[in-house]
A and B are shown apart, each in its own frame.
Chain A
């Protein structure tokens, strides 16, 4: 079975190394690999940034046609690139696979995590995976790197590029995530209380849809069915009621901590640790205790 790992960034390689079998090859779209992660060859495009997804799919189509499997780590970018590649290659396509059950059968969440579907596929299949379901590969050995020398197409379409994230870890991969909801009130308070806690623990910042919609937090921080899906060791939710859509994005967290004034909030029946308290007092106090541990 010919498997291709499609890494959008170097940090995808460890996850994909764990999900792909031996003798797999990888295509790395941006950056340079730090190790082989078990891949026989890592083909590098040398792109400085990701081109528009439809252009990238067209540029990569010939390279992936004929693969029995193509696997990428889920993200907004991967979720629009992989289906395009599948359409070009005539392959089946699945989003957000959490378990590979057999050569033709896969498990994935549906309906905001209300259920898991077992899906049977015919023929080649291209899919994205959620990293939490797959143990990362060891960074073994120096990578055998091949340059693809593929021009990055369609970059002229992007007139204002997204600002690169600095400082805090990637929300989708962070070991600790501290999230806040609408009760934080305004963006300065959100940054001070939630951002402060996240920085003290070396974690990432997340937010609810309500917090994002009311302008308290940036769009890319939204956690949930339609935002980022996170799976940290520790998820601290402050002032978050726990809608189905939000819980869909945090269910794979190892430990969920809820700090909420309302003991009847849905999150209080789903979190591992619940403190019914005013977040404006509890979060800074907790930060102090954990930072001095």
Chain B
């Protein structure tokens, strides 16, 4: 079985990033970039499924500029067998979903394992959009995946707790935080993975995004807080705020 894992390059999710003063973008100068953490979890799960014999090939794919090669090299070092980079500027989720739809038609993967959202736009739209476009079943927010006999049993997180679903393969599964802890890859591992194939290709579709960001602004400042000296003073201050019914 082939597992397809889409990878997005994002600014280090633990860095503090601010809008540029003119609001034209986010100030990412000097920041590190990495694989979107949820995509990394999805890839780790794909590698574990391959190690367990449930899959025989993993293809990692990204859309963007040549800088995305860094993240794809890391994906190869983590255990992907092959990487594809499609040159693209417009990364609207609807565009990526359309591109993925075309790639799924070409590669016929048994499983598309992807992050539930990215940490820069926080949209979380690509997995459900891809499911709508391909007609493949979707199991979102996966916390545990078991593959057996042509189907996947997925324990998934929901608004009210965990539920278990069984979906026939091929299917789309989106990874949540607790699916696994991705392995650590040291730099030598990334260099060693240079012998694995990374192919740059032209975009598969002419899909155009339907949204565009026209301005970025910092969040409004909160009023400065107040230190209280005792529990009594805190209780009085809370009551004075009038926030308790």
Using a CB–CB cutoff of 8 Å, the interface residues on chain A facing chain B are 52-55, 57-58, 61, 75-77, 79-88, 91-96, 105, 109-123, 125, 154, 157-165, 172, 175-176, 201-202, 209, 212-213, 218-220, 225-226, 228, 233-234, 244-245, 251, 254-259, 268-277, 282, 285-286, 289-290, 293
> CB within 8 A of A254: which of B135, B228, B231, B243?
B243
B238 touches A220 (CB 8 A): no
* B39 lies within 8 A of chain A by Cβ: no
7 A-B pairs with the lowest CB-CB distances in the bound complex, closest first? A92-B210, A87-B132, A160-B164, A83-B125, A289-B235, A162-B161, A233-B243
* A134 to B: closest C-beta gap in Å: 17
Please report the number of residue pairs spanning A and B whose Cβ atoms sit closer than 8 angstroms: 266
A119 touches B163 (CB 8 A): no
> CB within 8 A of B157: which of A87, A154, A219, A257?
A219
* B223 lies within 8 A of chain A by Cβ: yes
Task: With a 10 A CB-CB cut-off, give which of A123, A226, A255, A270 has the most chain B CB atoms.
Answer: A226
Contacts A52-B138, A115-B217, A234-B244 given; does A87 touch B234 at CB 8 Å: no
Q: In the bound complex, how far is the Cα of B161 from the Cα of A57, in angstroms?
A: 22
State the interface size on chain B (CB cutoff 8 A). Answer: 80
B120 touches A110 (CB 8 A): yes
A87 touches B140 (CB 8 A): no
Contacts A76-B159, A159-B153 given; does A274 touch B226 at CB 8 Å: yes
* Chain A contacts for B215, CB-based, 8 A: 117-118
Contacts A92-B211, A114-B16, A116-B217 given; does A158 touch B235 at CB 8 Å: no
Given contacts A115-B219, A162-B161, 7 further A-B contacts (CB under 8 A): A80-B138, A84-B132, A86-B94, A87-B94, A157-B137, A163-B161, A273-B234
Chain B residue nearest to A77 (CB atoms) is: B159
B129 touches A83 (CB 8 A): yes
Q: CB within 8 Å of A: which of B80-135?
A: 93-94, 97, 116-117, 119-133, 135
Contacts A53-B138, A220-B157, A274-B226 given; does A255 touch B243 at CB 8 Å: yes
A272 touches B212 (CB 8 A): no
* Chain B contacts for A53, CB-based, 8 A: 128, 131, 138, 140
> CB within 8 A of B137: which of A54, A125, A286?
A54
* B237 lies within 8 A of chain A by Cβ: yes
A273 touches B228 (CB 8 A): yes
Contacts A255-B238, A271-B225, A274-B227 given; does A77 touch B125 at CB 8 Å: no
